[in-house]
Copies of this chain bind each other. A is one copy, B any other.
Amino acid sequence: MASLRGGIDLGGTKIQAVVVDDDNSVLGQARHPTPTSGGPADVTRAMAGALHEAATAADVETRALEGVGVGSPGEVDGRLGTVGNARNLPDWIEPFPLVKTLSELIGTSVAIGNDVQVATDAEFHLGSGRPYRSLLGVFWGTGVGGGIYLDGRPWLGRGAAGEIGHMVVHIDGAQCPCGRRGCMEAYAGRLAMEGRARRRLRRGNNTDLFELMEKHGRTRLTSGIWARALDHGDEMAIELIDEAIEALGAGVASAVNLLDVEAVVIGGGLGLRLGEPYAARIRRAMQPHIFADTRPPAVELAALGDLGGAIGAALLADSRTTSSAVDSA
Contact = CB atoms under 8 A, between A and B. Distances in A.
A61 to B, nearest CB: 40
A157 B260 contact: yes
Contact of A258 (B151, B158, B159, B255): B255
A261 B254 CA distance: 17
Interface residues of A, number: 44
Interface in A2-53: none
Contact of A251 (B134, B168, B260, B292): B168
Contact of A163 (B156, B166, B257): B257
Contacts of A259: 148, 155, 157, 161, 258-259
Interface in A249-277: 250-251, 253-255, 257-262
A158 B262 contact: yes
A246 B172 CA distance: 10
B178 A291 contact: yes
Given A169-B169, A171-B246, A260 B159 contact: yes
A250 B171 contact: yes
A155 B163 CA distance: 19
A167 B262 contact: no
A69 interface: no
Interface in A152-183: 155-164, 166-171, 178, 180-183
20 contacts: A134-B158, A150-B150, A151-B155, A158-B262, A158-B292, A160-B291, A161-B259, A163-B260, A163-B291, A164-B258, A167-B258, A168-B250, A168-B253, A168-B289, A169-B169, A171-B247, A178-B291, A180-B291, A182-B250, A254-B254
